[in-house]
């Protein structure tokens, strides 16, 4: 899918007494200014791509994620946000699958292949295990594009690498497209992205299609 992304903000600060004082003290002009975050960026995202968006806080990661998401929905893709996957306070085995065998298949695919975990509730799982349960539900939902902002932000970096590794592995197995954004830059090895985007301030960025590994 070919996408073109343009995002600009024109920001006029509201002139409160304090705003005026700051402007005066730091020599800021308050005339209308245009902030360009993306300027006619052309992106090609293929089904099955693993897209890793990284870069500093405030550089425009969430914006590009939202833009891609909207464009894909417009093009008829079934997009699911990993953080929005609903979980109920019931045993995992009762929350996925059409029957017992299907439930075990889905949980195992997501890396939850331990009978002890089947009978636990989501709130009794570790963050990493919870993430895997979300993945089981995503696989079941049949969504073809999985999106996660602030990906692994709350996880310790070892769990983060495991979660990232599992995510790309499962996505590649079922042919889903994955798009994640995070300020953490340590996930290249575990995610093995097929499209890598590093965003800098203003409209600067680096886009790369790493050569196929393995």
Q: How far is the CB of 210 from Mg ion (least distance, A)?
A: 23
Q: How far is the CB of 60 from ligand ADP (least distance, A)?
A: 4
Which of ligand ADP, Mg ion, none binds 37 (CB below 5-8 Å, type-dependent)?
ligand ADP
183 binds Mg ion (CB under 5 A): no
Q: How far is the CB of 68 from ligand ADP (least distance, A)?
A: 12
- Closest to ligand ADP by CB, 13 vs 104, is 13
- Closest to ligand ADP by CB, 66 vs 169, is 66
Which of ligand ADP, Mg ion, none binds 113 (CB below 5-8 Å, type-dependent)?
none
62 binds Mg ion (CB under 5 A): yes
- Closest to ligand ADP by CB, 58 vs 210, is 58
> Among 49, 65, 2, which Cα is nearest to 144's?
49
Binding site for ligand ADP (CB under 6 A): 9, 11, 37, 55, 57-63
Return residues touching Mg ion (CB under 5 A).
61-62
């Amino acid at each position: 899918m070919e996408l073109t992304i343009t995002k600009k903000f024109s920001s006029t600060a509201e002139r409160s007494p304090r705003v005026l004082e700051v402007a005066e003290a730091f020599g800021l002009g308050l005339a209308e200014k245009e902030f360009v975050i993306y300027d006619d960026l052309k992106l090609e995202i293929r089904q099955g791509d693993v897209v890793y968006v990284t870069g500093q806080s405030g550089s425009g990661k969430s914006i590009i994620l939202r833009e891609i998401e909207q464009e894909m929905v417009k093009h008829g893709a079934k997009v699911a946000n990993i953080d929005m996957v609903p979980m109920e306070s019931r045993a995992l085995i009762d929350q996925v699958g059409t029957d017992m065998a299907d439930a075990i298949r889905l949980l195992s695919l997501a890396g939850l292949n331990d009978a002890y975990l089947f009978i636990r509730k989501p709130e009794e799982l570790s963050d990493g295990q919870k993430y895997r349960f979300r993945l089981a539900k995503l696989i079941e939902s049949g969504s073809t594009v999985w999106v996660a902002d602030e990906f692994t932000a709350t996880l310790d970096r070892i769990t983060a690498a495991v979660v990232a590794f599992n995510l790309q592995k499962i996505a590649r197995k079922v042919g889903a497209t994955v798009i994640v954004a995070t300020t953490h830059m340590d996930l290249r090895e575990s995610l093995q992205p097929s499209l890598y985007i590093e965003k800098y301030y203003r409209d600067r960025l680096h886009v790369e299609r790493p050569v196929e590994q393995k």
